[in-house]
Amino acid sequence: MKKFFKEFKEFAMRGNVIDMAVGIIIGAAFKAIVDSLIANFIQPLLNWILPAPAEAADGAWAIGPACASFIGTIISFILTAFVLFLIIKAMNAAKNAKKKEEAPAEPTTKKCPFCLSEIDISATRCPHCTSELKE
């Protein structure tokens, strides 16, 4: 069971899965903006221009509540995008911090300046060409 959760964590933390999730959430928030635009502006305008017989006498369209609803939807979209940005930024920072913790290993070999063979870093004489090496 532990292996299953480890594999799931690796799958969920891959970049393309996170990008897809962010895209879906942003898409849903943008859909709310489009729905609000249609429901609060375009549809009432069309109803006003082409009123149904029962609504012909009224014909009034209250712009205030429609604007407030639309602006509220835009603010919701911006806040959703900002929170997702902060979450992704924190995840990337955590991922990069983990990579920085792994310090590069100290070299264990060096090249002989005469024959360019790999030799032990503490060697004073090359085993290949028998040249004396300076410290």
Residues 81-108 have pLDDT tens digits of 888 888 888 888 887 876 666 667 788 8
Mean pLDDT of 116-135: 84
Tokens matching residue 123: 């060697």
| pTM of the model as a whole | 0.49
Q: How confident is the model at residue 43, as a pLDDT?
A: 78
Most confident of 42-56, 57-71, 76-90: 76-90
Residue pair 100/117 in contact by the 8 Å Cβ criterion: no
SS3 content of the chain, % helix, strand, coil (to 5): 65, 5, 30
Q: How confident is the model at residue 56, as a pLDDT?
A: 44
Q: How confident is the model at residue 85, as a pLDDT?
A: 87
